[in-house]
Chains A and B, each alone.
Chain A
Amino acid sequence: MSLKYITPAERFKKYLPKDYVELVDYGPFGKTQDEAGPGNMGQFKELMEEHPMCSGCWMAYYIRLIFASLPQPEETVTLGTAGCGRLAISQAAVPFIYGNYGDQNAMASGLTRAFRLRFPDKHKDVITIAGDGGTMDIGFSMTMHSWIRGEKFTTIMLDNEVYGNTGGQESGMSPKGAILKMAPLGKKGEKMPATDLAKAAGCVYTVRMSPTNIKKAAKIIRRAIFVAREVGPTFIHAYTSCNIEYSIPTEDVFADAKEKEKTRFQFEEYMTDEAKAVIERVEAEEKAAKRAKKAEVV
């Protein structure tokens, strides 16, 4: 229904902004990943194109990747909080709710439950996308409790290990010893063990990663969303460097992300048996559909 709703009537197409028509014709609404997923980023119209974030911001890249990976953007609602990320998220062609400081997971709890009440026969994907400050500091209680209550939505933490938007203060996710604003002598405490906390709080699928591999990162995002629909809370802890506050030259951003992959952001994927069953089923279905399509073409 909603897909039909965003699709313009043929005869009105010529009056609509070209951008919009192209998004519907070539963008990912109603399409498979093969047709319009991240593999085609740049070739097809994306849900998020321009963004107002710093040039070379690794977070902006990953946010684009999230939008390009959505299983059904036409049925997705994103929620966020203050931070650089929301500047981009709010400009994407997917509904976005900007709440109060760090309350994205509490809002998502209400939203997900209300969606299930109103649309019991549909999957409405709800995703919170917030920084390390919003997810693990100011929003910590609301993040943890949404997991403890088993709320069925995906939490994505854009961990740049600093408060980028407010000018570079230490966060709970900054590494120990980092000299940052408000940590003039270096951060005293350890980086918070986010994925361990998520597991302990009941997340059924958690991943920690530095998203250097587009295909793999997209697969993880989709897995998290599919599992959240059916089983319970899912969490992706992704490294998205702040090249401004950590002084990473734009040309070195990727190398830095690669480097972090070997240390603090070593790939770690955890899933419960129930989550695994969903992933295996969905991915087998996708493969079968792909094979069938190939056969059709031949």
Chain B
Amino acid sequence: MDASQRPQLDKKKADINYILKEAPREQHFITGAQAMAEAVKRANVDMAIAYPITPQSEVMHLVGDIYAQGHIKEYYRAEEELGTMSAIAGAARAGVRLFTATSGPGLLRGLEAIVSWSGHRVPAVLGILTRVVNAPLSIQPDNIEMAYMMHCGAVMLHAENQQDTFDYTLAAFAITEKVDVYIPVAVATEGFFVTHAKGYVDMTADDICLNDFDPVAAPVPAMDNETPPARIQRDAPVQKSNFMSYLIHSVWQQEIWDSNKRAMKYIYEYLGGPIEVQNPEADVFVLGSGCAAAQCREAHRYAQEDGLSVGFVKVKAIRPFPTQEIRDALKNAKAVIVPEHNIIGWLCKEVKAAIPNGGIVVEGPRVYGGMTLPVELIMKEIHTALGLEYDLKL
């Protein structure tokens, strides 16, 4: 049976604002992988393409299940990640709503296609369930692959927990389809720690879904020969001369990164802004994204109990990077501790570059290869920054 002949579920279609902000919610105790799939279920996705790089997460299995239930119109397992990511790029040209997810080595295998999505104006949502990339290999979480993703033009959100994973994934569909954005949105969260662990997620009912994808509302028309204005050679490289080719590449790339910046207003609209700040008057800040943000939050709570002058910043958007917001939040800080789940400290580098006094940034603590990040390590850094003794017991 052709995908178009499969019976469709009778769902109520709604605007993203209603779904994210007004629709009644019910609490569920589910894994992060389930939370992402549940968001996909409510996003009225036309097509999902899967490649099984388990066991980082079961997101694409669950998406397959919801396809079988009729929430998605078309779904298949592709040959490998490059094939998956290329097929997403192909399907996008026909004007449909798309989702796929991957992690670690899978993301790198598909990266050649992924890095061209933005330039091709592919409005797809990509789940990244982070996992070790570098040797010696492990199947545990480590978010170093996010560093490779950061320079491809895509909008990147980093979810702290299961609830974020649900909300960010739904919001991602709305952001990617805005006519002034129209570049892919990646929603990352930690493999295992979030994807395999259960948490409370307030979810809307699953008989309400996002309005249909509108291929006409796009800055570049679909390649369907139906959508005016006609654009015969949508993606052909410009061959007129090297000079023209360089020029068009640079103009186009600038536009992609401007589109990325324009996503910020929707991050405010749907996620309440790119950062969350607590105790803004503090001397020392702990700043993190994803799972590290959860540990920072915990350290911040301990510090409050101990009466220490410690603030907390959670970074929700990695791209566009909230440079100004972070600068404002840290303007009176004497030290900023940036714990991370990767060895190179990509977030730390971004924060250092964002603030005028980068020397106040404490690099780490960092864990990688699947280790958990003990709050005590962060507490030790807090105490050191405040000039206090701390008896680290792990």
Contacts and interface: CB of A to CB of B under 8 A. Distances in A.
Contact of B78 (A95, A112, A114, A145): A145
Interface string B185-229: 000000000000000000000000000000100000001111010
B113 A100 contact: yes
A106 B87 contact: yes
A107 B87 contact: yes
Interface stretch (A1-9, A156-164, A190-198): A1-9
B73 interface: yes
Given A52-B239, A100-B112, A120 B225 contact: no
Contacts of A87: 239
A99 B86 contact: yes
Contact of B94 (A6, A91, A103, A115): A115
A113 B86 contact: no
A124 interface: yes
Contacts of A144: 79
Contact of B90 (A6, A79, A92): A79
A96 B79 contact: no
Contacts of B112: 100-101
B85 to A, nearest CB: 8
Contacts of A118: 94-96, 215, 224
Interface in A80-138: 86-87, 90-101, 103, 106-120, 124
A110 B239 contact: no
Given A5-B228, A90-B239, A120 B86 contact: no
B332 to A, nearest CB: 47
B307 interface: no
Contacts of A92: 232
Interface stretch (B2-10, B245-253, B262-270): B2-10
B18 interface: no
B113 A113 contact: no
Nearest to A92: B232
Contacts of B96: 114, 117-118
Contact of B95 (A106, A114, A116): A114
A95 B232 contact: yes
A149 interface: yes
A6 B236 CA distance: 20
Nearest to B84: A106
Interface residues of A, number: 46
User: Which of A90, A94, A111 is packed against the most chain B CB atoms within 10 Å?
Assistant: A111
A113 B96 CA distance: 10
A21 interface: no
A113 B225 contact: no
A72 to B, nearest CB: 10
Chain B contact patch, size range: 35 or more
B313 interface: no
A117 B73 contact: yes
B93 interface: yes
B233 A111 contact: no
B3 A110 contact: no
A120 B78 contact: no
Contacts of B116: 99-100
Interface string B59-94: 000000000000001101011101110111111111
A106 B237 contact: no
B299 interface: no
Contacts of B76: 113, 149
Given A103-B113, A106-B86, A142-B79, A117 B74 contact: yes
B236 A86 contact: yes
Contacts of B2: 116, 120
A107 B79 CA distance: 12
A169 interface: no
A53 B73 CA distance: 42
A170 interface: no
Contacts of B5: 120
Contact of A93 (B74, B79, B232): B232
A79 to B, nearest CB: 7
B223 A103 contact: no
B94 A111 contact: yes
13 contacts: A90-B237, A96-B235, A96-B236, A100-B116, A103-B86, A107-B90, A109-B83, A110-B90, A114-B47, A116-B2, A118-B94, A119-B224, A120-B4
Interface of B: 2-5, 46-47, 49, 73-74, 76, 78-80, 82-84, 86-96, 112-113, 116, 215, 223-226, 228, 230-237, 239
Given A97-B235, A103-B89, 12 more contacts: A91-B236, A95-B232, A96-B232, A109-B90, A110-B87, A110-B90, A113-B91, A114-B90, A114-B91, A119-B224, A141-B79, A142-B86
